[in-house]
Amino acid sequence: MQTLLINGKWVAPVAGEAIDVINPCNAEVYDTIGRGRAEDIDLAVAAAQGALDGAWGKLTAAERGRIMLKFGQKILDNAEELAQIEALDTGKPITVARNDIVAVARYFEYYGGAADKVHGQTIPYMNGYNVSVVRVPHGVTAHIIPWNYPAQMFGRTIAPAIAMGNACVLKPSEDACMSVIRLVQLGQEAGLPAGALNLVTGYGHEAGAALTAHTGINFATFTGSPEVGVMVQEATARNHVPCVLELGGKSPQIVFDDVDMDKAVPVIVKAITQNAGQTCSAGSRLLVQEGIYEEFVGRVAAAFAKVKVGTPEMDFDCGPIVNRKQFVRVSGFIAEAVASGVPVLAQGQLAEGVSADGYFVAPTLFGAVPRDHKLACKEVFGPVLSAMSFTDEEDAVRLANATEYGLVSGIWTENGSRQSRMAQRMISGQVFINCYGAGGGVELPFGGMKKSGHGREKGFVALEEMSTTKTVVQYFG
């Protein structure tokens, strides 16, 4: 229950309430976390402000960077323990969890190394003036992250914020945050001063809503559903607090008739089955040029039928859905599509021996999905791929850009000019050509257009998002 870190001390929530932690592989409760509420958020925000006014605010950029590099090393030193925690909490295959932990360490290496390399500008102005533009932290930053990649999301949002000298209050998902708790402990061990990073576990409508509406925060980042994204934006707007929103997608894989099928098929299958499809940048729409539609989709179906779903220890291609609510939602999408007559072309296999109480869903490939069907437009956030055909480049662009989302696009063609034309016309924050990264590495700026959100994470651009500028004008004439 002492899962809240406030001003360097692990505490239980003021109200003393707990939330059960459930194993998605068998629906059994295996632990509890504290149910933080508004009063805990008040304490955390005050602690963050205290850190800015105290030891944390006085550190140089190089000193912050050094702590972050130590933090990254501690993550690597404790990688196996962290991976086991992550796998148990989310159900993901242990190999995937191990990769996730290495990715978290990369965030601290990358932004730790960058902390003292963010330069300002000087501006030529009138005679007798020195003008400099310096980058300064926002101050107290609020961070709300989801359950699909708890550890990676922690690195993605916290590392650039700390690098720029902000003091953070983090509200992870009530559905999966055990690795985050351990990561925050490692941050303390690495030398983060009290109050620089505060953690409040709890529900979104309680702790999360209290955090985003708090008058003491100066900036917020949120990753999760579009509906809650709107609430976060409304709450922060009331205090004129800027926010970065990452709200998911319905990303297309666009396959032209000159595709290298052997290369494309495994990447396309992995891009939707990875993490059981619970990836904001999952390639969830398969758009194939009509001349090769039957052959290409047939090959994808053959690969799909071999996808295996199991527990973390079985270490197959994917695990269960993270919680009961999402399980019901994803299963509902599949059942509704079947009932409306959309053909199922292939389904993956649940491994023998998985619990009937677990939230396992067979990955499903639907074919000839009508363009206006829910399956073609709405985010499922599960291992469901919707195939449809297009005629030519113009039709491909229209179809690819036809949803309300704009997160990632995948383009598959050997024609170089077409690659460039298509990349230019995609309305999405990332475009992959003859590859697909589902978010890609820490180096690559990431974020959405349209209802996928706004603002950017990852890459150097995240350091700009996590800071603001101050223009200093000095007269010496």
* Active-site amino acid positions: 246, 280
Least CB distance from residue 212 to ligand NAD, whole Å?
5
CB of 206 or CB of 255, closer to ligand NAD:
206
Least CB distance from residue 452 to ligand NAD, whole Å?
8
CB of 227 or CB of 352, closer to ligand NAD:
227
Which residues contact ligand NAD (rule: CB under 6 A)?
Answer: 144-148, 171, 173-175, 203-205, 208-209, 212, 223-225, 228, 231-232, 246-248, 280, 326, 329, 379, 381
Least CB distance from residue 394 to ligand NAD, whole Å?
30
CB of 17 or CB of 116, closer to ligand NAD:
17
CB of 36 or CB of 72, closer to ligand NAD:
36
Least CB distance from residue 8 to ligand NAD, whole Å?
23
Least CB distance from residue 223 to ligand NAD, whole Å?
5
CB of 127 or CB of 215, closer to ligand NAD:
215
Per-residue 3-state assignment (H helix, E strand, C coil) for the chain: CCCEEECCEEECCCCCCEEEEEECCCCEEEEEEECCCHHHHHHHHHHHHHHHHCHHHHCCHHHHHHHHHHHHHHHHHCHHHHHHHHHHHHCCCHHHHHHHHHHHHHHHHHHHHHCCCCCCEECCCCCCEEEEEEEEECCEEEEECCCCCHHHHHHHHHHHHHHCCCEEEEECECCECHHHHHHHHHHHHHCCCCCCEEECCCCHHHHHHHHHCCCCCCEEEEECCHHHHHHHHHHHHHCCCCEEEECCCCEEEEECCCCCHHHHHHHHHHHHHHHHHCCCCCEEEEEEEHHHHHHHHHHHHHHHCCCEECCCCCCCCECCCCCHHHHHHHHHHHHHHHHCCCCEEEECEECCCCCCCCCCCCCEEECCCCCCCHHHHCCCCCCEEEEEEECCHHHHHHHHCCCCCCCEEEEECCCHHHHHHHHHHCCCCEEEECCCCCCCCCCCCECCCHHHEECCECCCHHHHHCEEEEEEEEECC
Least CB distance from residue 199 to ligand NAD, whole Å?
12
CB of 65 or CB of 283, closer to ligand NAD:
283
